[in-house]
Amino acid sequence: MFIENLLAAGIDLAAPLLIAALGELYAERTGVLNIGIEGMMLAGAWGGFVTTYYSSNPWLGLVGAILIGALFGLLNGMLAITMKVNQVVSGIAINILLSGLTMYLYRVIFGIPLLPVTVNPFPKLSLPLLGSLPVIGKILFQQNVIVYIAFLMVPAAYFILYKTSFGLTIRSAGEKPEVVDTAGLNVTRIRYTGMIIGGATAGLAGAFYSLAHLNIFANNIISGRGFIAFAAVIFGCWNPLGILLATLIFGIADALSTRFLTSGIQVVPYEFLLMIPYIITIFATLIFSRKSISPAALGTPYQKE
Amino acid sequence: MITYNTAPFVEMKGITKYFTSVKANDGISIDVRHGEILAILGENGAGKTTLMNILYGLYTPDAGQILIDGAEVAISSPKEAIQKGIGMVHQHFMLIPTHSVVENIILGMEGNQGLLHLKKEAAKVAQLAEELGFQIEPYRKVKELPVGVQQRVEILKAIYRGAHLLIMDEPTAVLTPQETEDLFKLLKRFVQSGNAVVLITHKLNEVMGIADRVTVLRDGRYIRSVLKQETSEEELAQMMVGREMALHIQNQGQSGRVPKGKAEKPLLRMENITFRNETGNQVLDGLSLELFKGEILGIAGVSGNGQEELAAVLAGLKKIEHGRFYLNNREITNQPSHKMIGNGVGYIPADRQNEGLILNMSVRENLLLKSYDQRPFFTKGVLNKKRTVENANQLIADFNIKAPDTETSAKNLSGGHQQKVVVARELSLNPELIIAFQPTRGLDIGAINYVHQLLLDACLAGKSVLLISTELSEIFGLADRIGVIYRGRILKFLDTKATTVDEVGLLMAGIDKTNL
Amino acid sequence: MITVETETKAVLVKQSQNNSYQLLSVICPVVSVLLAFLAGGLMLLLLKINPLVVYQRMIVASFGDPYNLAEMLVKATPLLLTGLSFAFAFKAGLFNIGADGQFYVGALAAVIVSLKLGFLSSWLVLPLALIAAVITGGLFSGLAGYLKARFNANEIITTIMLNYVAFQLTNYFVNGPLKEKAGAYPQTNPISVQAQLPVLVTNTRLHIGFLLALLCAIVFYFIISRTSIGFQIRAVGLNQRTAEYAGMNTKRVLVLAMVFSGIFAGIAGFTEINGVQHILIQGFAPNVGTVGTVIALLANANPLGIVIGSIFFGFLQVGANIISQTSQVPKNAIDMIQGFVVIFVLISYYIQYRITAYQKIRQLKKGASL
């Protein structure tokens, strides 16, 4: 029972990380780093929340989140690709901008409410037939809609990257952009696409927090999880299946630490348990930072002299 | 088959191109005929590659027109160039090492949207190769293929997309003499049906070997076009350089090498060196050599046979697994780079921009690089700026480095003067042994001669040089002895005067006639 | 020839290096700041607030009142130090995003020493607290540096992760062993008078820590441009490969750069605890590291620029306090304007680059037609 609940919760927590990380995968495979993933998730949480509030439809909320994420992906693209701003700098700048902007606009729309504003969150959706399977039914198929979306994105990413011409182009742009250029393709356009996809999926992932996990919006709703998703890409060796594994590990660790807290078992002080996902990430980067695995041209701006 | 009184196949008229710091092309007009192999000849920096990059749509000209079969065309991207039947094989291959041959060839092909049909494409690729006279394995990863085969993949890529004009940029830099012959056969076959080839090169012997006609460029301007049979290497050299100049400095035995008896101990001795690189290849495989004081030992070979690793090991940048090496009979195996510098080993790297210089630092600081914690420039860790300025001024004067002042950024110097900074720095440290790895790559003739003279002068002063180069003319011009490196070993040592280019060329391909 | 940037690491944005365009390089940031305030003003209109009134009040109150002037420098102090922290690592080509965390552990160390040894005279306890902050900040950051040197672990990730570790660590102390006697709030006991940094100007909060920060800026400049280690750091940051060929121990340089970087951030923690707060409250001074990082970026890691920038951002924060106390404007309006400033200044650097590149080509063409 405990294991079932743990795994179910772990998957629930892993889902938004997975979505954001897969989006970041596209971006990084084209050769651009999106450190702004944290801010874009926040923007998605905000956008999803506000859209759902006004439309009373969480699905429209998801659409809103995706659009906002894509918008800021575009902005990051303009800074990092066209203006050749250092990609880490542009990402940090966007995180700062969005941190202030989202809270300010929340204030503009909702004022200072006595109690936090809420929306109706996504309910859990038990899949017919599959949901009633013993053991794995509870773990895998009685989850939130966003979890199912995350699941589907994995094979989709695998297929797109390795079995389509679009995917070949993406992978090539991140390995050696000059080759793509001389083959007659537009490296800039490809990288913008990667950035926008990264932003849109970050937005979608962020919406999970304000529309499913919780049903409010606050400044600390993302709290570093964007960076964990970023780390998951490295941990997963820039590969959809690896990323799935990495995010599952993070999610389960996160669920584990919450269980320790609520059970009252004080093996280790609560705060130290909260450190676990971050420490795991550090170990992950240790093991997986060898140069031979990452896209060769990652983080390097491309320009013709 | 080539006609000169009808309209040309491709024509470029009045092409001018500016970059932020230079006028690369200045009103150049050239033409190429059907069935012709045209060589575009010029020194480094003459504007040849820029001109062809314009033809291939990588740059847009600031003035001028391009005509194909008499009709004016606008080529604003490689895509359009490919559509119009122009293909280009670059000096640094435009291939993705981690992808397969077929994935590289079909990248960006029109009509290949949506799903990848790898099997179908692979079959087409294999067939095309056969028609051109060679075999290819479509699913092999490019990084596993030898360089000569990679080049054929590049050519396949261009022809697969319907190229009728093939531009080749310095294609033989990485080939053995025999592979060069094979390439020329392939090109001759290609032009038989009315196609054309433009060969960008600075090698006069190649021009005389394969081209039908030669167009000479100099300093961004068009000089002249001549038919091959109506000219000679000397005339072409004069056109390239614009004045009478010796093609290369010759070692007339001026080096400090004084022949001694058999009892003489070598300055540098390497015994059975082995080194395995990160992909598991045995790059150095039992390499042994001896270098004597005052001599220039030339290591000839096609790039990729272990030269890089040999140089890196001697510079203290890589550690070997087995074997030892000695300097003046003192073992120096696997000592780190700063110790090697302290041992008196100077190093002129192949890539001056990424290994020899820090482009964003000033000339003064670049000259200071290896003395980063040495007196008199640094005392107790603190900088003595005046001394560094004096040092820089001295070296700038001694080596004739064209820089307005000591604080000029290294990136603002021309290639030749950048290399002078590197050489000046190395020599200023008074090394006993100088490792010179491709010391004149990418330099114009004037700079090449200057560097060669410096190396010879160093030997006169009692220093020794290990010259690692893929340019046979350089090796033959400078070295007292030649060692041919092949698959990580020195195949044979020869006295320069007692051998020929042909013999060395065969050894470079692993063929030792004396053992057959 | 088509190139891929090889020496991008220590060059943040495509900036003009040419001296004759120096006027442009001053105008651009100033215009950007004005535009940021304009954009912020438009946002204020959404709340039906008159931005001009707000800005006027900000400026008058900040510069008119000596207490507020002093506050600007008080707020600038930790920003200056965290800015130096990021800049120092950046010179070596490293992205130390961990200033927030290193600031916290430095503060933690300082407060522990101040609480336990607060009975000693100021001449003892203050230097001891400072040393504690220096050591913890340096070690914390040095850890990330070691992981980078030894395992090539991406320092962006490790420093960000260590931030969260640092937050949780301070939370633990503040909720547990160091919790105040009264036990009501997640904060420590206040530190003793001896452990408080002396005030420079009476009736203000401006303390010696500000001078310490200025001193650090001078030390930064000295190390980077006048010492052997500084030379090595710059070399490694510009072109690590060439630095290796020159015989430098690049791994050692990277670790040292991170250690120094962490030391600056740790000192920021000391100045904040012993100079201003005199107590460690959970979640205090959030984003000091991030804002300092941004200042360093905008100043392109130049220490003088960081000094000026930190005073400017100090002004923004003082202004934020003033207007939120005296009007309806929410505090996060200033956070938002801060964000606008960053983005616009970045854009302005690019515009600068384009203008100078265009001018150069025009000059070439003019020269040719003569």
Q: Domain holding B434: CATH number? A: 3.40.50.300
In a domain, B255, yes or no: no
pLDDT at C250: 93
Q: Which residue of A84, A100, A302 is in closest CB contact with C339?
A: A100
Least confident of A86-95, A269-278, B390-399: A269-278
Question: Is C183 a domain residue?
Answer: yes
Contact state of B18 with C364 under an 8 Å Cβ cutoff: yes
- Condensed to tens digits (0 to 9), the pLDDT of residues A177-187 reads 988 888 878 89
Rg, Å, chain C Cα set: 22
Same domain flag for B206 and B70: yes
Chain B, nearest residue to C242 by Cα? B355
Give yes or no: residues C135 and C26 share one domain.
no
**C40 lies in the same domain as C145:** no
Q: Among all residues of chain C, which has the CA nearest to that of B375?
A: C228
Domain enclosing residue B408, as ranges = 268-515
In a domain? residue A143? no
- Give me the residue from C293, C340, C349 closest to A92, CB to CB: C293
The pLDDT-based confidence of A14 (bands split at 50, 70, 90) is: very high
Burial class of C195 by CB neighbour count within 10 A (0 to 12, 13 to 18, 19+): buried
From the CB of residue B71, how many other CB atoms can be counted at a distance below 10 Å?
A: 8
User: Does A289 reside within a domain?
Assistant: yes
User: What does the pLDDT look like over C287-336, one tens digit per residue?
Assistant: 899 899 989 988 889 999 999 999 999 998 898 888 878 777 777 788 88
Q: How far apart are CA B445 and CA B453, in angstroms?
A: 12
The verdict on a CB contact (< 8 Å) between C5 and A300 is: yes
pLDDT of residue B96: 92
Asked if A181 lies within 8 A of B79 by C-beta distance, the reply is no
**Contact call for B107 and A172, based on CB within 8 A:** yes
CB contact under 8 A, C235 and B358: yes
Decide if A163 and B59 are in contact by the 8 Å CB cutoff: no
Q: Are residues B213 and B349 in the same domain?
A: no
B442 part of contact set with chain C, CB < 8 Å: no
Chain B residues in contact with C368 (beta carbon < 8 A)? 23, 26
CB-based contact C2 B337, cutoff 8 Å: no
Of B19, B90, B104, nearest to A305 by CB-CB distance is: B19
Residue A175 lies in a domain: yes
| Residue B394 sits in the same domain as residue B448 | yes
* Chain A: touching chains (3 or more CB pairs < 8 Å): B, C
Separation CA B21–CA B12 (nearest Å): 24
Structure tokens at C331: 């505090």
Interface test with A, best of C54, C156, C170, C288 (most A CBs within 10 A): C156
Query: What CATH number is given to the structural domain containing C208?
Result: 1.10.3470
Task: Give per-residue pLDDT as tens, B305-327.
Answer: 889 899 999 989 999 989 999 99
Residue A102 CA: distances (Å) to CA of A24, A46, A91, C294:
22, 7, 16, 19
Burial of C318 (0-12, 13-18, 19+ CB in 10 A): buried
B84 belongs to a structural domain: yes
What residue of C is the nearest CA neighbor of A288? C153
Half-sphere exposure of C358 (CA within 13 A, CB side): 6
Does C341 fall in a domain? no
Select from C2, C153, C165 the Cβ nearest to the Cβ of A286: C153
pLDDT in tens, A32-50: 989 999 999 999 999 999 9
Instruction: Write the CB contacts of C60 (distance below 8 Å, at least 6 apart in sequence).
Output: none
Residue C8: the pLDDT is: 39
C359 within a domain of the structure (yes/no): no
Q: Is B343 on the interface with C (CB under 8 A)?
A: no
Asked if the Cβ–Cβ distance from B337 to C247 is below 8 Å, we say yes
Q: Which of B70-74, B103-107, B232-236, B432-436 has the lowest mean pLDDT?
A: B232-236
Q: Where are the alpha helices (DSSP H) in chain C?
A: 22-46, 51-64, 66-91, 99-116, 122-151, 155-175, 208-226, 228-238, 240-245, 250-270, 288-298, 303-326, 332-369
Interchain CB distance below 8 Å, A300 and C8:
yes
What is chain B's alpha carbon radius of gyration, rounded to the nearest angstrom?
Answer: 25
Q: What is the pLDDT of residue B252?
A: 57
Instruction: Give the nearest chain A residue to C157 (CA atoms).
Output: A231
Give partners of B (≥3 CB pairs < 8 A): A, C
Is residue C231 included in any domain, yes or no? yes
C119 and C155 belong to one structural domain = yes
Q: Cβ C227–B353 below 8 Å, yes or no? A: no
What is the per-residue pLDDT for C367?
63
**B77 CB within 8 Å of a chain A CB:** yes
Same domain, B226 and B276: no
The CA distance from B275 to A182, in Å, is 36
* Domain annotation covers residue C12: no
Neighbours of C215 (CB within 10 A): 12
Do B134 and B87 share a structural domain? yes
The larger pLDDT score, comparing residue A169 to residue B236, is at A169
Closest residue by Cα to residue B411 from C11, C62, A288, A135: C11
Whether B157 and B36 share a structural domain: yes
Domain enclosing residue A42, as ranges: 2-113+149-293
> Are the C-beta atoms of residues C248 and B338 closer than 8 Å to each other?
yes
**Phi/psi of residue B155, each to 5°?**
-65, -45
In a domain, C215, yes or no: yes
Task: Based on the fold, state whether residues C35 and C127 are members of the same structural domain.
Answer: no
Residues C39 and C113 grouped into a single domain: no
Residues in CB range of C229: below 8 A, 6 or more apart:
B381, C223, C253, C256
Mean pLDDT of chain B: 86
Regarding whether B450 and B389 lie in a shared domain, the answer is: yes
Domain end marker among B241, B259, B276: B241
Give the Cα separation of B98 and B499 in Å (integer): 41
Are C5 and A181 an interchain contact pair (Cβ–Cβ within 8 Å)? Answer: no
In total, the C-beta contacts within 8 angstroms joining chain B to chain C are: 97
Number of domains in chain B: 2
pLDDT at B515: 63
Among A254-258, B57-61, C60-64, C117-121, which stretch is predicted with the lowest mean pLDDT? Answer: A254-258
Instruction: Judge whether B339 lies within some domain.
Output: yes
Which member of B20, B368, B381 has the closest CB to residue C229? B381
Per the structure, how many domains does chain A have? 1
C-alpha span between B409 and C77 (Å, rounded): 35
Q: With contacts defined as CB-CB under 8 Å, which chain B residues touch C241? A: 354-355
B58 touches chain A (CB under 8 A): yes
User: Which tokens in the block code for residue B156?
Assistant: 């396949």
Q: Is residue A45 part of a domain?
A: yes
pLDDT tens digits along B132-181: 878 889 999 998 888 888 999 999 999 988 899 999 998 887 777 778 88
Q: Are residues B41 and B126 in the same domain?
A: yes
Please answer yes or no on whether B355 and C243 come within 8 Å at the CB atom: no
Q: Look at residue B14 in the predicted model and tell me its pLDDT.
A: 92
- The pLDDT of residue C98: 93
User: Which residues in chain C are closer than 8 Å to A182, comparing Cβ atoms?
Assistant: 2
Task: Mark whether B162 and B290 lie in a shared domain.
Answer: no
B424: left (phi over 0), alpha (psi -120 to 50) or beta: alpha
| Nearest residue, CB atoms, A178 vs list C2, C14, C290 | C2
pLDDT in tens, A186-203: 899 999 999 999 999 999
Chain A closest CA to C153's CA: distance in Å? Answer: 5
Mean pLDDT across B98-124 = 84
Bridge partners for B28 per DSSP: B15
Residues C239, C308 within the same domain: yes
Q: What is the pLDDT of residue A84?
A: 85
The alpha-carbon gap from A131 to the nearest alpha carbon of chain C, in Å, equals 37
Asked whether the beta carbons of residue C47 and residue A281 sit closer than 8 angstroms, the reply is no
H or E element, residue B304 = none
Q: Is residue A298 included in any domain, yes or no?
A: no
| Residue A164 near chain B (CB below 8 Å) | yes
Q: Is the pLDDT assigned to residue C6 strictly greater than 50?
A: no
How confident is the model over B400-411, as a mean pLDDT? 87
Q: Are residues C47 and C78 in the same domain?
A: no
List B165's β-bridge partners, or say none. Answer: B86, B196
Cβ(A285)–Cβ(A231) below 8 Å: yes
- At C173-199, the pLDDT tens digits run 998 888 888 888 888 888 888 889 999
CATH number of the domain within which A176 lies: 1.10.3470
Q: How far is B196 from chain A (nearest CA, A)?
A: 20
Minimal CA–CA distance to A163: which of B121, B117, B141, B138?
B117
Average pLDDT over every residue of B376-382: 88
On whether residue A124 sits in a domain, the answer given is no
Count the alpha carbons within 13 Å of C128 in the hemisphere toward its beta carbon: 17
Residue C330 lies in a domain: no
- In a shared domain, residues C36 and C170: no
**pTM (predicted TM-score):** 0.83
Residues C110, C158: one domain? yes
The residue range of the domain holding C251 is 70-314
Mention every residue, 6+ apart, whose C-beta is less than 8 A from residue C363: none
Instruction: Name the residue among B143, B433, B176 with its Cα closest to residue B278.
Output: B143
**Domain membership flag for residue C329:** no
CB atoms under 10 Å from CB of B173, counted, come to 17
Do residue B204 and residue B156 come from a single domain?
Answer: yes
- Nearest by CB to C154, from A181, A289, A303: name it: A289
- Among candidate residues C266, C283, C314, the one where a domain is terminated: C314
State how far the Cα of B486 lies from the Cα of B287, in Å rounded to an integer.
10
Probe site for chain A from C157, C293, C351 (most A CB atoms < 10 A): C157
> Same domain, yes or no, for C195 and C267?
yes
pLDDT reading at A128 higher than 80: no
Q: How many C-beta neighbours within 10 Å does residue A164 have?
A: 15
Residue A74 counted as domain residue: yes
Mutate to test the interface with C, among A176, A188, A282, A283 (most CBs of C within 10 A): A282
Q: Is residue A109 part of a domain?
A: yes
Contact B184/B209 with Cβ under 8 angstroms? Answer: yes
